A and B are shown apart, each in its own frame.
Chain A
């Protein structure tokens, strides 16, 4: 078994601020993902990474940067926080992307 941890659990920022969310997994999974979930909605893919130092854009990548410096960690940066960005950001990982993805507990972003 393994676990995915996301920090912080709650993130409050000001409009226009640069904000970073972090994700760590100890599954030893190759592929990691960032999704955004708006209230009452499904999940939408922001970025994913097949391996260390690899980055692939998802449907929602505009306004975000990502970084995968180690196999076990994947960071997401909101380059300029906007009020319509208030959502829960979920990190996930999987074995080479073939099988099901396992999700972290999420970071709830509030922009004032």
Chain B
């Protein structure tokens, strides 16, 4: 069965610095997709970035990038030049490739607080 683990419950950073958060996953599939979502204080859940297991290059979108270490089953999220608005809960999620329509398996989230 697939499993996603985020060990950091909360992280505090100073604005304009870089924050890194960890996520490890378990799967028996050779093909899978990894996602990061952000949940704001209002409860809105926003898709940020995706990594396909067969791609060696780390995905990058804006000031979000991933550190994909396949041998370690690890997919870290890096946010550079943080802003106050980046304060949120960040969820790592996974979908195995065998069933393209199945839902995502989520981690418990990491709360990031960005201070001036």
Tell whether A and B belong to one assembly: yes
Which residues on A are within 8 Å of B, measured CB to CB? Answer: 31, 33, 35, 40-45, 48, 50, 56, 58, 88, 90, 96-103, 105-106
Q: Quick one: given A90-B45, A105-B43, A105-B44, are A45 and B91 in contact (CB under 8 Å)?
A: no
Contacts of B102 in A (CB 8 A): 45, 48, 56, 97
Nearest chain B CB to A108 CB, angstrom units = 8
**Which B residues, 45 to 84, have Cβ-Cβ distances below 8 Å to chain A?**
45-47, 50
Does the CB pair A42–B108 fall under 8 Å? Answer: yes
Contacts of B37 in A (CB 8 A): 103
Does the CB pair B101–A42 fall under 8 Å? Answer: no
Does the CB pair A100–B47 fall under 8 Å? Answer: yes
Nearest 10 pairs between A and B by C-beta?
A: A97-B101, A45-B103, A42-B106, A103-B45, A100-B47, A43-B106, A50-B101, A42-B108, A97-B100, A31-B101
**Residue interface mask B94-106, A partner, CB < 8 A = 1:** 0100011111111
Pairs across A and B, CB under 8 Å, 10 listed: A40-B108, A41-B109, A42-B4, A42-B91, A45-B104, A48-B102, A48-B103, A88-B43, A97-B100, A100-B50
Q: Quick one: given A43-B91, A100-B50, A102-B47, are A33 and B103 in contact (CB under 8 Å)?
A: yes
